[in-house]
Every structure is written in C-alpha cells, then in structure tokens.
Structure 1
Amino acid sequence: MHLLNASQLLISGTAGIGMILTQLTSLSFGQLFFLLNLPFYWLAWRTLGPVFTLRTFFSISLLAGLSELMRLFIYMDIDPVFSALLGGMLVGFGLILLFRHNASLGGLNILAVYLERRYGIHASKTTLTGDLLVLLLAVLVVDLSQLAYSLLAFVTLCSVVGRYHRPPEWARVSHQS
C-alpha cells in the first residue's frame, strides 16, 4: 500500500476510498482505512463467522498501523508504472494469502469472500467491479495520469487474484450442493 500511496495511486475497495479521502480530509490513509472498515465487521460476523471476522480485524489493524509507521518514517520517490505493477502484485498476493487463511482486508474483500462462498462468484470478479467503482469516484479528485496508473494497479491485482486464487475445496463443494 505504501508503494501505491507514494505515487498517489489507488487500489480497490475501502483502501481505494481511503486513498481518495486522504485528498479531501486531514486524516491519514491508515486512519481512514481503519474507520471505513468498521461497518463491514457486522457483515463478516453474521455471514463468515467470528474466526474470519477476528482475523480480518487483526489484518486491517496491522495494515492501518504499518501504514501509519511507514508514512512517518519511510519516504519513497518511485516511478508510477513500477509502483502500479509491484503494488498491484503485492496486494494481490497478500489478498490470496489472507483468503487462504480465512481472513481478508475488509470492505470489498469481505463481500468478495462472502459472494464466492455463497454463490461461487470468483473473488477477482467482485474486486474488479469494486475497482471500477473506485475509479469512477476517483475521477472527481484524481488527475487522468494517476487514474491510468491506478487502472494498471487494479488490473495487476485482479490478474494475480484471478490467476492464483483458488477457493478452498470445502467452498467449492458447498456451492455445488
């Protein structure tokens, strides 16, 4: 996330909305990311269970905290293409690891895991839809070059998730019943 933030690029879901809101408020990304995810815990608890919810809360808290530390102590001047490609890949692989361990990074990812488990809709389709919605919202506050690089990050993230994410066997079986 810090790679993307350093180039002022966006990513999907509540993280992307948090990145947009950093330009409109005095709050940092870590603060916004943590706050934006609060309403999604109810959905996670009711539909995906307490273990998933607690792991997700830990993941969100860790990302928000590390984002705050990196913002304070690490300065990056990075090429936006490199930032988009590497940032999108790292976020994609991070999401896969979280999904495989019954967790997420909140917001859209909670919805993606729920839809995959309940209806068999691949998580990459949900994240791509969310990415497009974030891009539409970003048109109001982000210049076109940042949007183009952000789109590259979105496509990279979705490509990684689409290529390497496999729902657990029990999720595939429960959908077929």
Structure 2
Amino acid sequence: MSNSQVMEEPLTHRIYEDCFAIVIGTSMVSFGVILLKQAGALTGSIAGLAFLLHYLTHTAFGVFFFLLNLPFYYLAIRRMGWPFTIKTFSAVVCVSVFSEWHPLFIHIDQLNPFYAAIFGNILMGVGFIVLFRHKMSLGGINVLALYLQDRGIIKAGKLQMIIDTCVLFASFFIVSKEMMLASLIGAFIMNMIITINHRPERYLG
C-alpha cells in the first residue's frame, strides 16, 4: 500500500490546547462584540438577540448572551455529547465575561461604524473558526439548527438564515439605516469567513 493510500487518524487536541483555544477564540469574539457595541451595530443569531435586548434595556450584553444560551445546552448534550457541551459552556461564559472586561482596559473615543461592523465581524469570524477547530461553539441557534436538521425538520442553513433575518428585521426599529447596512455587510463577511474556513473535508484538526 502506498503512502497516499494510508489515511492517518487526526490527532485529538489535548486539554491544555483546548483551554488555550477557548481563551484565544473567545477573546477575539468578545473584542469583536465590543467594537459592534461601541458603534451600535448588530449581528445575527443569539449574539444578535443579546444585542437587541442590551440596546432596549441597557443591561449588560454578557448577561443576556449567557442567559439566552441556557436552554440550548440540553440539545447540545443530546446531539454533541458532554465534551462538546462542557467546552461550549466554558466558551459562552468566557465571551460573557470578557465582553464586560475589555472596556476596563481600553476605551475608544472615535469609531467609524462601518469599520467597527466590518472589523468586529472579522474578529468574530476568526474567533469562531478557532473554537470550531477545537470542537466547540458558542451554543444557541447553531445547536438548535443542527438538532432540527438531524430530525429531518429543517435544514440547518435555512433555519440559521430565518433567525438571522428576523433579528436584523427587528433591529429596524432601534438602529439607523446606515447602521443596518453596516451590520448586514459585517454579518455577510463573518459568514463568509466561517463558510470558507470551516470545511471538514478541506481542513483537519
């Protein structure tokens, strides 16, 4: 048998590697959240819902992000198992905490909304890839979409698109048209980053 015919099993990540990935990935996502929040921009999924509630109530984004994810852990356990769920829970906690810690160390006085929406979503997209490569996510709609797809109810991509559309539609009532456009461009860029780089058949690890 030639070497080209030999398929080696990909090595699993060690615990310290997963911990390092959680810190790096969630640091990037949470800093992206800070840029979006500073500019008053939005995004989709659970983070988008957390932003809407934050803007409406002025309660910390991290509080809503943590609470909105709680109902989805049951589905995560059933579909992905305990290791995935524990790592995902840890990642959600880190984003919730880090998004409140960043302003203690950096304050941005002037920020272009389009720059914030685009670069913030770039950071979030790369952070998501770091987490996905270590078999974890930030919970929420992603878990629900995969669960319903497994049961043959609806394709994961379709549900994700429906939820994101609803979140962005609701934002018409609280953000300007300029900010809506910036948010749509940013969300598109983030989804492209994930679509291009999160390809199991292309990348291992």
TM-score, normalised via structure 1 length: 0.83
- Aligned residue runs from structure 1 range 114-153, under 5 A: 114=147, 127-153=160-186
Counterpart position of 1:22: 54
* CA–CA distance in structure 1, aligned partners of residues 121 and 157 of structure 2: 13
Distance 1:129 1:85 in 2: 22
Instruction: Give 1:50-129 correspondences, 5 Å limit.
Output: 50-76=82-108, 77-112=110-145, 114=147, 127-129=160-162
Cα distance change, pair 163–118 in 1 and its aligned pair in 2 (3 A): farther
Structure 2 runs not aligned, ≥5 long: 1-32
Identity %: 39
Alignment deviations for residues 132-177 of structure 1 (CA, whole Å, 9 cap, x no partner): 22101212222221111110111111111111111368xxxxxxxx
SS across alignment from 1:139: helix
Of structures 1 and 2, the larger Rg is shown by 2
Moved over 3 A (4+): 111-119, 121-130
Structure 1: 5+ residue stretches without partners: 170-177
Partner of 1:172: none
1:19-75: CA deviation from partner (whole Å, max 9, x where unpaired): 111122141101111111111111111111111111010000000000111234432
- Between the aligned partners of 1:168 and 1:47, the Cα distance in structure 2 is 21
Q: Distance in 1 between matches of 2:137 and 2:65?
A: 13
**Is the partner of 1:10 in helix, strand or coil?**
coil
The whole-number CA distance in structure 2 between the counterparts of 1:125 and 1:82 is 28
Asked if structure 2 preserves the Cα contact closer than 8 Å seen for 1:127 and 1:158, the reply is: no
Correspondence list, 1:13-52, <5 A: 13-52=45-84
Aligned partners of 2:87 and 2:52: how far apart in 1?
A: 26
Specify the alignment match of 1:165 in structure 2. 198
Counterpart-to-counterpart distance in 1, 2:157 and 2:144: 11
For 1:15 and 1:111, locate their aligned partners in 2 and report how far apart those are by CA, in whole Å.
15
When the two structures are superposed, what TM-score results if normalisation uses the length of structure 2? 0.72
Matched length: 168
1:144, 1:59 → 2: CA distance? 32
